[in-house]
Amino acid sequence: MEYTLPVNDPVAEDRVQLSRDELWTGLVAKATDPRPYVPAITECTVLSENPQGLVREIARDGDRFRETVVFDIGHRVSFRREDEKAVWTIDNVIDEDPTGALTLTFSGAFEREFAPSRLAAMRASMAETAARTLAVIRESAAA
């Protein structure tokens, strides 16, 4: 599952245009405290961190679990859950389209199959989270 959106709209002159560095800084902030970016996450505690990533415990939709977050500096933040309930990897990737414009791609790899209706809901949630992530990063850059 994957969702890509443009980071900047060249027509929206009144909107903050994000640089790659600002986008990267925002994704790292999201890894540390995802609550402003993902309203379903109600708690987050960073258990350990280093320059290559962190381990965090989050509460989401009544479920508590740990994620290992890996930084591919300047390019990708990967969130990995692997426990008795679920295994997944979600990537947030900074890239460029063929014209050189910045893009943000959210992708998810899951170790189980989902019913079509659940998959559709997950795709919609991914698109909403990607858009919200850009909005929060843009607000922070404007401050």
In order of their start, the domains of the chain are: 2-142 (3.30.530.20)
Of the two residues 9 and 41, the one the predictor is more confident about is 41
Q: What is the pLDDT of residues 86-116, one digit of tens each?
A: 888 999 999 999 999 999 999 998 888 888 8
Q: How far apart are CA 125 and CA 84, in angstroms?
A: 23
Q: What is the pLDDT of residues 51-90, one digit of tens each?
A: 999 999 999 988 999 999 999 999 999 999 998 888 889 9
Q: How far apart are CA 7 and CA 118, in angstroms?
A: 27
Please say whether the beta carbons of 52 and 80 come within 8 A. Answer: no
What predicted TM-score, i.e. pTM, was given to this entire model? Answer: 0.91
pLDDT for 14 beyond 80:
no
